[in-house]
Chain A
Amino acid sequence: MRPSGRGELESLYFDYPLYNFRRPPEMDGSQQRHPVIIAGAGPVGLTAALALARQGIPSVLLEKKQTVNDGSRAICISRYSFETLQQLGAVEPFVAKALGWTRGRCYYRDQLIYRLEMPHSPDERFYPMYNIQQQFIEKFLIDQAAGYPDLIDLRWQSELLAVESRAEEVDLTVGTPEGQYTLRGRYLLAADGARSTVRSLMGLRLKGDNLPGNYVIADVRMQHDFPTERRSFFESSGNPGSTVLVHRQPDDIWRVDWQVGEGEDKVEAVREERVRERVRAILAMIGHRGAWELEWWSIYTANTLCLDDYRHGAVLFIGDSAHIVPIFGVRGLNNGLADAVNAAWKLARVLKGSAGTALLDSYSPERRGATLDVFRNAGKSSRFMTPPTRGYALMRKAVLELALTEDFTRPFADPRQVQPYTYRDSPLTTADADAFGAGPEPGSPLVNHRLAEDDYLLDHLGTGFTLLYFVGDRSPVAEVEALTEALRGADTDLDLLRVEAEPGPGPRGQVIFDTTGNLREAYGAGAGALYLVRPDRHVAGRWKVPEPNRVAAALHRALGDKD
C-alpha cells in the first residue's frame, strides 16, 4: 500500500519500468512445443529461466503484470543466494547495489541483550547477508534475461487461464490484451507465488499451520545514521507488547516491521494514519529526530504451509507456490531461488537425454526436505517472536528478563538466519565410505574458498558435474582423465578440475593452484582425494582414494538412476 494520493507504482526511489505485451508466434499459428514454460516472472521464475539458459535450455516465461513487484517485500539475500547469482553471471549489479551485513543487535526494554555475529572471514567472496529491495532484484534479473534473446522468451501481460498436464506435456491457455492462445510445453515450472494460479487450477492445496500474530512492514525514506545491521526490539518503551524489527535498505530506505497488537483489527492496522503513528513511535525509539517520508507498507502473517508433493507429473512447483514460510530468518526468497536452481539442472538433463525422468523424482524430497527444515527453524523463531500460548509467553519473558544480567539466555534472541540446506538424505547423495576430517560432507554445498585476489573456487566450476581432484605427486592423473572421459558419456558437461600444489609439467586444462595448501586443508583432502560436485555445487560424493567404478556409480545415482 502507498500513502493517499500516490499510485501503486509511484515510489520515492524506484522508477518502475513498463514492459509491453508482444504478440507471440502462437497467436499466428505456431504449434511449437517448448521444452519449459515458467509461470511467473518474479525472482524465482527469472532465476529458473537463467539457470535453464545457463544449461542451454530455452524457456518461455509468462507474467500477468507489466512491471516488477509493487514494493520492497523480500529484502534479505543470503550468501548462498549470491553465490547462485554469481554462477548465473548476474551478481554484479547486486554487489553494486545491495548492502552487505554481518551483525545484528537485539534489545529488551531498551537495553542491548544480544549481539548477532554471522560467520564471516576474508576468505569469503560475499557477506553472509545482503539487503536489497525486491524491485531491484527483479529488475536486475530481467536485465540479465535480456542477454539471452534466443533462450528466454519473457511474455508480459500474459495470464495463465487453464492448465492441462499429462506425463511429459502441458497445454496452457494464456490470456493477453489481444486475446487467448494455447501454449504447448513439455514441462511447466509454477513460480507464480503464494497465491499460485497453477496450484489452484490443478486443485492442489497447501497444508500446514497458520501461526498466530500479524505483522506490518513499512518502508520509510530518511537520513538515518546507523550501520547496516538487523535490529530487533522486544517490549521497547515506545512499543510495549510488540516486537519491532528495523533493517536498512539501499537509497536511504529503512524497513520498519512491527507486530500488530493482540486484538487489534487488521484493517485498522494498515490504515495510513495508524501506520504513521506506529512508525513515528518506532523512529522516536531508535532516536531518529529528523524528517522521514512514508514509502510503502504491507501486512503479513507467519505460516508454515506447503504442498505434499512439489512435482505433479510435468509440473514442478518452485518458490512460494510450493511453500509459504515465516519471514523470520529470511528463508522465503532464498529457498525459492534454491528451488529454481534444483529444478533447472535436473530438467536440463532430462531434456538433453542424459537422465531419465527418475531424476525429477528427487526434486520434491530435496526441496520439500529444505522446506521442512525451514519450518523447524522458523517455527522456533516464530514461537519466540509471537508466543503462541501463555506458557510460551511466560518463558519468553523469563529468558528476556534474565538476559538483562545473564549470558546464558541471550542466544534465545538469535534470529536463526537461513543456512544452506544439506541434501544429506537425498536419494542422489552417496554417503562417505572414507573418513574425512574436514570439508563439505556429501549433500552440502561447496565452500567458496578464496584462492587468490578476486579468485574463488566457485569461479572455476562449469555447468555440469565437476570432478574436483586433489592431485598429489604420485596421483594417477591419467587414470582420472580417462575416468572423466568415460563419465562424459553420462553427463556431457562434466568437467575435471584439478587442484595442484604448484604449476608444474604435465597436461594443462582446468587446474587451480593451491600453493598455500589452504584448499586441501579446508576440504580434508590428501593427495588423490576426489569430490564429485553436482551442477548446483552440492557434493554428490567424495573419496580419499577414488575407485573409478565407485565414482561412476555415484554419478549415476546423482543422475537419478536407481541402484
Chain B
Amino acid sequence: MKQSLDFTELEKAYDLIAQAIDEAGEGNEALFLSKLCITLAHAIPDLAVVEEAVRTARGK
C-alpha cells in the first residue's frame, strides 16, 4: 500500500467529498462524515493510523 495519496488524487478526493456533503444536505452532513470516517478506518487496517488521524484532525 502507498504511504499517502499524491496531491492530484487528494484534490479529487476533496471534490468528491465536497460534492457528497452537498448531496447529504445540511441536516445529514455530520452523519455522512461520520460514516465516511468509519468506512475509511475500516479500509485502513491499522488502528494506530486511525488514532493518529484523529489527533491530527483535532489539531493536537
Contact = CB atoms under 8 A, between A and B. Distances in A.
A6 B7 CA distance: 49
A409 B4 CA distance: 12
A395 B10 contact: no
Interface footprint category on A: 10 to 19
Interface string A374-417: 00000010000001011110110001011011101101100000
B19 interface: yes
Contacts of A394: 18, 21, 29
A113 to B, nearest CB: 13
B22 A390 contact: yes
Given A390-B26, A394-B29, A408-B10, A402 B57 contact: yes
Interface in B45-60: 56-57, 59-60
Interface in A352-380: 380
Contacts of B17: 391, 395
Contacts of A391: 17-23, 29
B59 A404 contact: yes
Contacts of B7: 411
Contact of B4 (A389, A401, A408): A408
A163 B41 CA distance: 64
A402 to B, nearest CB: 7
A310 to B, nearest CB: 29
A401 B57 CA distance: 9
Contacts of B19: 391
Nearest to A399: B14
A406 B18 contact: no
Contacts, number: 40
Interface in B11-51: 11, 14, 17-23, 26, 29
A411 B5 CA distance: 13
Residue with the greatest number of chain B CB neighbours at <10 A, chosen from A380, A387, A392, A404: A392
A387 B18 CA distance: 10
Size class of the B contact interface (CB-based, 8 Å): 10 to 19
Nearest to B60: A405
B51 to A, nearest CB: 16
A389 B18 contact: yes
A329 to B, nearest CB: 15
Given A390-B26, A391-B22, A394-B21, A412 B14 contact: yes
A401 B59 contact: yes
A190 B21 CA distance: 43
A408 B19 CA distance: 21
A269 B48 CA distance: 50
A6 to B, nearest CB: 44
A27 to B, nearest CB: 57
Interface string A82-120: 000000000000000000000000000000000000000
Contacts of B22: 389-392
Contacts of B18: 387, 389, 391-392, 394-395
B50 to A, nearest CB: 16
Interface in A465-520: none
- The residue in B18, B29, B59 that gathers the most chain A C-beta atoms within 10 A of its C-beta is B18
Given A380-B11, A411-B7, A412-B14, A405 B21 contact: no
Nearest to B7: A411
B56 A402 contact: yes
Given A405-B60, A406-B56, A395 B21 contact: yes
Interface string A176-197: 0000000000000000000000
Nearest to A404: B59
Given A395-B18, A408-B4, 12 more contacts: A380-B11, A390-B21, A390-B26, A390-B29, A391-B17, A391-B20, A391-B21, A391-B23, A394-B29, A395-B14, A395-B17, A412-B11
Closest 6 CB pairs of A and B: A391-B21, A391-B22, A391-B18, A395-B18, A392-B18, A389-B22
27 contacts: A380-B11, A387-B18, A389-B22, A390-B22, A390-B26, A391-B17, A391-B18, A391-B19, A391-B20, A391-B22, A391-B23, A391-B29, A394-B18, A394-B21, A394-B29, A395-B14, A395-B18, A395-B21, A399-B14, A402-B56, A402-B57, A404-B59, A406-B56, A408-B10, A411-B7, A412-B11, A412-B14
